[in-house]
């Protein structure tokens, strides 16, 4: 079975936000993607210091996406800074929604 490769881009600017294999690198979970730093292709995600809590994944902070042209997309992502130890695939990873009007998600079969 071929592995999947994913590219996540900002729709308007075309900026690639993340690219890599589906699995431990980019993990789909509950309709979202959790991206390890190795596969982030931007440094534009910045904390806005707005906290959040999930009853079973624990504490996170919202992230804004700062684009090179000066635009900012508020609350596009999040980062669990005090994550549940039962979910290592979310630990300190940028989380983004799988279906968001600002994002383009492309899945392809990865070349072996």
Tokens 């899945």 -> residue: 107
Question: What pLDDT score was predicted for residue 56?
Answer: 94
In CATH, what number is assigned to the domain containing residue 105?
2.170.150.40
How many angstroms separate the CA atoms of 9 and 76, rounded? 12
**Strand, coil or helix: what is 99?**
coil
Question: What pLDDT score was predicted for residue 8?
Answer: 98
Q: How high does pLDDT run on average in the chain?
A: 95
Question: What pLDDT score was predicted for residue 1?
Answer: 63
Question: What pLDDT score was predicted for residue 3?
Answer: 86
Tokens 């383009």 -> residue: 104
Q: Which domain holds residue 18?
A: 4-109
Total domains present in the chain? 1
How do residues 2-48 score in pLDDT, each as one tens digit?
689 999 999 999 999 999 999 999 999 999 999 999 999 999 999 99
DSSP per residue, 2-70: PPEEEEEEETTT--EEEEEEBTTTEEEETTEEEE-GGGB--S-EEEEEEEEEETTTEEEEEEEEEPTTS
The tokens describing 40, both together, are 């982030």
């Amino acid at each position: 079975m071929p592995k999947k490769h994913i590219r996540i881009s900002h729709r308007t600017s075309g900026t690639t936000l993340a690219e890599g294999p589906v699995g431990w690198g980019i993990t789909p979970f509950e309709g979202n993607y959790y991206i390890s730093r190795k596969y982030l292709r931007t440094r534009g995600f910045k904390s806005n210091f707005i906290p959040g809590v999930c009853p079973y994944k624990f504490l996170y902070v919202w992230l804004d996406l700062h684009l090179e042209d000066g635009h900012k997309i508020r609350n596009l992502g999040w980062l669990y800074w005090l994550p549940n130890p039962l979910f290592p695939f979310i630990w300190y990873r940028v989380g983004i929604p799988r279906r968001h009007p600002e994002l383009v998600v492309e899945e392809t079969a990865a070349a072996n």
